[in-house]
Amino acid sequence: EVHRITAGEPRILETRSPVYVLGDVHGNLNDLEFFRKSFWPLGPEVTAGDFLFLGDFVDRGRDSIAVVSYIMSMKVLHPNKWWMIRGNHETREVNGNMEHYMEGSFLSQCIALFGDTDGYAVWEAVNNFFDTLPLAATIDDTIFCVHGGIPRELCRRGSSLDLIRNVECPLRSVQTNEVVYEMLWSDPSLPEQEQNDELDDSGFGVSARGCTCFGEKSIDLFLDIHRFKHVFRGHEAQQSGVGVSKSARLTTIFSTSKDHFSADVTATCGCVLVD
């Protein structure tokens, strides 16, 4: 049912404030339950505001199945208040990587709960849904929301968001589409990359994880060409839950406090209310 709903949505969702924006949940049911009690204790239908999730629902945390089941169910119950876009973990090559994520892997958790045959079937069915997830969202035509970052191709003068709007759905492999790959995997450049002139004329370079990174210049171009004021994204762990960078035009939202920092570090899960 959720697959049918998301497959019918545009590739760029258009939402209106007030909207609560949550970043990566990564299988952390405890923190999701904290958000539920804090922000929609009586359910979304009696809460003034929409809910937008920036992807990365599964992997790392122990409760990937419960988290994704809850998020999918809420979409079925509240299709016009509850919004989701795709993260880099909503792909088979990442959430099927049991060697890397081990017991934190979504596929490992499906097999542990349902057994080999049914585990693979559940994992494949959920991934068929992930293939239909929208790729970006806007809030009040002012804020552009994406999981990782802005794509290089959309920082060229004369470029159009139709490049995203026209992406095929379902999209099984995100590697085959450079615009999508950059939106799901990019990170902002580090301050030293800006200072040491390691970025190209459009402000792009190579990120620590070996993907594209985008600098001040890229954000400037993107916001100017497409008439937005801010970019919201998730993808990178934030110790305080929310991080602001690039002259306050980029906000990183991370909605799990666990599984990303060493045991002696206290981290907080974050959320932004756009009102």
Task: Summarize as ranges the residues that interact with Mn ion (CB under 5 A).
Answer: 56, 87-88, 235
- Please state, as a whole number, how many other Cβ atoms lie within 10 Å of the Cβ of residue 10: 13
Amino acid present at 97: N
Nearest approach in angstroms of CB 88 to Mn ion is 5
Q: Which two tokens stand for residue 90?
A: 């909503």
SS3 37: helix
Residue type, 245: S
List Cβ neighbours of 167 (8 Å cut-off, separation of 6 or more): 11, 135, 177, 179, 180
Distance in Å, CB of 145 to Mn ion, minimum: 14
d(CA 59, CA 27): 6
Closer residue to Mn ion in complex, CB, 77/206: 206
Sheet containing strand 204-206, edge to edge, reads 187-188, 212-214, 204-206
CB of 100 to Mn ion, least distance (A): 14
For the CB of residue 266, give the shortest distance to Mn ion in the complex, in Å. 22
Report the distance separating Cα 57 and Cα 61, nearest Å: 9
Q: Give the whole-angstrom CA distance, residue 155 versus residue 221.
A: 5
The residue among 44 and 96 lying less far from Mn ion, judged by its C-beta, is: 96
Identity of the residue, 96 or 119, whose beta carbon is nearer to Mn ion in the bound complex: 96
Question: Residue 204 and residue 222: Cα distance in Å, rounded?
Answer: 12
3-state secondary structure of 240: coil
Residue 40 or residue 214: which is nearer to Mn ion going by CB? 214
Please tell me what DSSP assigns to residue 254: B
Q: Which residue is nearest to Mn ion (CB)?
A: 235
In the bound state with Mn ion, the residue whose beta carbon lies nearer, of 217 and 235, is: 235
Minimum CB separation of residue 254 from Mn ion in Å reads 9
In whole angstroms, the minimum distance from the beta carbon of 146 to Mn ion comes to: 11
Nearer of residues 92 and 235 to Mn ion, judged by Cβ: 235
Residues 6+ apart with CB under 8 A from 193: 199, 205, 213, 215
Give whichever of 204 and 254 is closer to Mn ion, judged by the CB atom. Answer: 254
Distance between CA 186 and CA 165 in Å, rounded? 19
CB of 148: closest distance to Mn ion in angstroms? 6
- Tokens standing for 225? 């060409």
